[in-house]
Amino acid sequence: MLKSLPLFITACALVAAQPSSISQKYSEPAQKLIAAALADQEGLARLQYLCDRIGNRVTGSASLERAIQWGAAEMKKAGFENVRTPPVMVPNWIRGKEFATLVAPIEKPLGMLGLGMSVGTPAAGIRAEVVIASSFEELTAMGRGKVAGKIVLFNPKWQGYGGTVMYRTGGASKAAELGAVAALVRSMTGVSLHTPHTGTLVYEENLPKIPAAAITLEDTAMIQRLADAGTPVTVLLKMEAHQGADVESHNVMGDIRGSEKPDEVVVLGGHIDSWDIGQGANDDGSGIMATMQAVALIKNLGLKPRRTIRVVFWVSEENGGAGGRAYAAMLGASMKNHVAAIEMDGGAEKPLGFGFGSGGEGRRRRPAGATPAAPAAAATSSAAFNRVVEIGKLLAGIEGGAISPGGGGSDIAPLLAGGVPGLGVRTVAAHYNDWHHTESDTFDKIVPREFQLNVASLAVMSYVLADMPERLSEMK
Ligand SMILES: [Zn+2]
């Protein structure tokens, strides 16, 4: 053993002397970026402005267009180049007035929010008996005889957002297929203080479009108890929701230009639209403001990455993803020059790291912190994965650099589908779903230190990806 010690020491010295390790090479700029992010107040101030002075930002609204103009102006003020707002056609869904009331066995207003993109009810509303389904299988088993003319309430067991959201997105059409006149769904959350959660539904073609709304967990539980006791439950649902013609809106984008390879791009961002309630603070004001601030800090510190870093505020993520698709279409063949895409769309709680992958597994949004369903697709090699892990080590000091397979987000899904390596911010997600798509997604839920940690991890990851000699896609 003693004999081999000199050899061992020599080997250690060789390893230590190798300057090629990414985590060694970028240690100094990473420390500077982290320190700057943790001292930064500007990103938070912008997010507060967006929340309190502009407000929620559903597509088709004047406030969304104000946010877009303001966002572009802020990018210019921050020194971004090539700031532009390319047009995107987006849906123009209008909620209008709405309510749901239990009318039998007792009269009681229900905590509800109509689902995004839902049709409305007739002016007099829809009054019908409620039938409950805990799954699509149970609904199918009930058959037309028990469902036709009724309001179906979907009360599935909560299996996390990704495991339950299909009842919100697809429940209305499944109920309509059996003749239901409206659909209700328990809110997509595990925790409720009588808080209804909206979110989009998607109607299947060739089936009647029936109105649909989410109700609170508390009201769902009460209706379930009544039904379990064999008591007929009747609900009056009234919704003015309707769809206007699509309108022109915009993505917002700005660059810091690469010093050596300006045509190669690392893109990062989130979505600028929200639902028409709350402030869209976590979803996804935090994502657009944190990504913008991460890149502003890179610029402020005088770091000049080899490649261009671009921030994009995608539009219409909540109701169809037109912004993400338009961005990918705008790139066309030049998408191959996108070396990485990073999305933050899971709120600004304490970041744990990034999911990393490619090949489109990010097509459907997963909630932040959820276990990734798919391993890294073939398009990203294990060498590329190991490189991202190595970059993550630069974030060890803030415990924000854990890398897991399965990256992405719905705005960058079209890029991932085109082979661009994708990363999605992962957080502890302790409360994200409690606030998601509710009146409670407001600025007070943003913990300043946690927002700053997100800025830090985004700054380090995007800077190193834009500056390191190799592209992830070339690493075999
Ligand atoms: Zn979102």
Cα 270 to middle of ligand 1, angstroms: 7
What's the average model confidence in pLDDT over 286-305? 98
How many angstroms separate the first and last alpha carbons of the chain?
37
Cα 411 to middle of ligand 1, angstroms: 9
Cα 316 to middle of ligand 1, angstroms: 10
Cα 291 to middle of ligand 1, angstroms: 14
| pLDDT tens digits, one per residue of 338-352 | 999 999 999 999 999
HEC string for 367-383: CCCCCCCCCCCCCCCHH
Which pLDDT score is estimated for 381? 83
H-run or E-run covering 143: helix 136-147
pLDDT at 330 > cutoff 80: yes
pLDDT at 93 > cutoff 60: yes
What's the average model confidence in pLDDT over 126-135? 98
Instruction: Give the closest residue to 57 by CA, choosing from 240, 289, 383, 234.
Output: 289
- Who contacts 11 (Cβ-Cβ below 8 Å, separation ≥6)? none
Instruction: Give the closest residue to 370 by CA, choosing from 355, 359, 349.
Output: 355
Cα 346 to middle of ligand 1, angstroms: 7
The residue written with tokens 């008591």 in the block is 231
Confidence of residue 371 (pLDDT cuts 50, 70, 90): very low
Helices 448-467 + 382-392 axis angle, to 10: 130
Cα 410 to middle of ligand 1, angstroms: 8
Phi/psi of residue 263, each to 5°? -80, -15
Cα 274 to middle of ligand 1, angstroms: 7
What's the average model confidence in pLDDT over 7-35? 72
Residue 353's identity, in one-letter code, is G
Cα 444 to middle of ligand 1, angstroms: 18
User: Which string of DSSP letters, residue by residue, matches 219-243?
Assistant: HHHHHHHHHHTT---EEEEEE--EE
H-run or E-run covering 427: strand 422-427
Query: Is 317 tagged catalytic?
Result: yes
pLDDT at 362 > cutoff 60: no
pLDDT at 6 > cutoff 70: no
pLDDT at 16 > cutoff 50: no
Confidence of residue 407 (pLDDT cuts 50, 70, 90): confident
CATH number of 96-240: 3.50.30.30
**Euclidean distance between CA atoms 323 and 287, whole angstroms:** 15
Cα 262 to middle of ligand 1, angstroms: 29
**Euclidean distance between CA atoms 34 and 394, whole angstroms:** 10
CATH topology of domain 26-89+246-474: Aminopeptidase (3.40.630)
pLDDT at 406 > cutoff 60: yes
**By the 8 A CB rule, do 423 and 407 touch?**
yes
Cα 305 to middle of ligand 1, angstroms: 29
Confidence of residue 20 (pLDDT cuts 50, 70, 90): low
Please pick, among 65, 98, 317, 343, the residue that the annotation labels catalytic.
317
Identical topology for domains 26-89+246-474 and 96-240: no
Confidence of residue 18 (pLDDT cuts 50, 70, 90): very low
Which pLDDT score is estimated for 357? 85
Cα 343 to middle of ligand 1, angstroms: 10
User: Which string of DSSP letters, residue by residue, matches 258-295?
Assistant: -SSEEEEEEEEEEES---SSS--IIIIIHHHHHHHHHH
**By the 8 A CB rule, do 78 and 299 touch?**
yes
What's the average model confidence in pLDDT over 191-211? 97
What's the average model confidence in pLDDT over 138-143? 98
Cα 247 to middle of ligand 1, angstroms: 21
Confidence of residue 368 (pLDDT cuts 50, 70, 90): very low
Which pLDDT score is estimated for 476? 82
Which pLDDT score is estimated for 72? 99
Neighbour-count burial of 361, counting CB atoms closer than 10 A to its CB (0-12 exposed, 13-18 middle, 19+ buried): buried
Instruction: Enumerate the β-bridge partners of residue 255.
Output: 81, 310
**Euclidean distance between CA atoms 286 and 279, whole angstroms:** 11
Residue 231 exposure: Cα atoms within 13 Å on the Cβ side: 14
- Who contacts 176 (Cβ-Cβ below 8 Å, separation ≥6)? 183, 207, 208, 209, 210
- In the chain, pLDDT over 70 holds for what percent of residues? 91
Query: Domain-by-domain residue ranges, the chain?
Result: 26-89+246-474, 96-240
Residue 461's identity, in one-letter code, is M
